[in-house]
Amino acid sequence: MVIGKLVPLALFIGFLRLVGITGALLAALAWSVGVMVHRRATGRPIPALVLFSTIGLAGRTVLALATGSVVAYFLQPTITTALVGVSFLASVATGRPLAERLARDFCPLDAEAADHPLLRLFFVRLSLLWAFTSLLNAGVTLWLLLTQSVTTFVLVKSFLGPSFTAVTLGIAAVWFRFRMRRAGLQVHFGSSMSVATVPVAAPAVHPALAAAAHRNA
């Protein structure tokens, strides 16, 4: 995080005041490329964050220098964020919520838990939450880009994106446990990093829960 994100950000802001936008763009890119070259030369692995960050910086720098517009440099990540929000919305419309697919990548669900109607309803609503926060993030970022100075935009944006992500993840985690607890289910994380839901009280609660979920859907 420090090497791939914070140092390039500090270099960009520092060189922006000293030599202008072109020098700031090249300084941030030169640092990232230099880190990759040094680690390769010393036989150390290149962190994925540094690799992806360098590729993104290179593409954005070329675009900004070719167009002569700093807006072009910062607009690409904003467009990506907006497309992520649209993707979450589209996944809900097609009946395959993207939040569920992402959750399965990080924490596999057993068959009974995955098919539970309340859990499926939760993933639909979580996808809508991610869509909302992503589109809000993109909208606020675009407004900052068009109305604020470059220095102000970079400083605010460096905290804005992570804040949106952290808040959304926090809401999702608390909301998930709350909904499962209200449904009479308890979440257990197994040693294989899988999730199972089991009744807290009597098993007879299941038919009522399924019927309630069907009516809510």
Other C-beta atoms lying within 10 Å of the C-beta of residue 212: 13
Average pLDDT in the 184-205 region? 51
**Predicted confidence band of residue 108 (pLDDT cuts 50, 70, 90):** low
Nearest to 97 by CA among 133, 129, 138: 129
- Give yes or no for residue 88 having a pLDDT over 80: yes
CA dihedral of residues 86, 88, 89, 95 (deg, nearest 10):
140
pLDDT in tens, 137-176: 999 999 998 898 888 888 888 788 788 888 888 888 888 8
- Mean local confidence (pLDDT), 3-25: 81
pLDDT exceeds 70 at position 206 = no
- Position 210 pLDDT exceeds 50: no
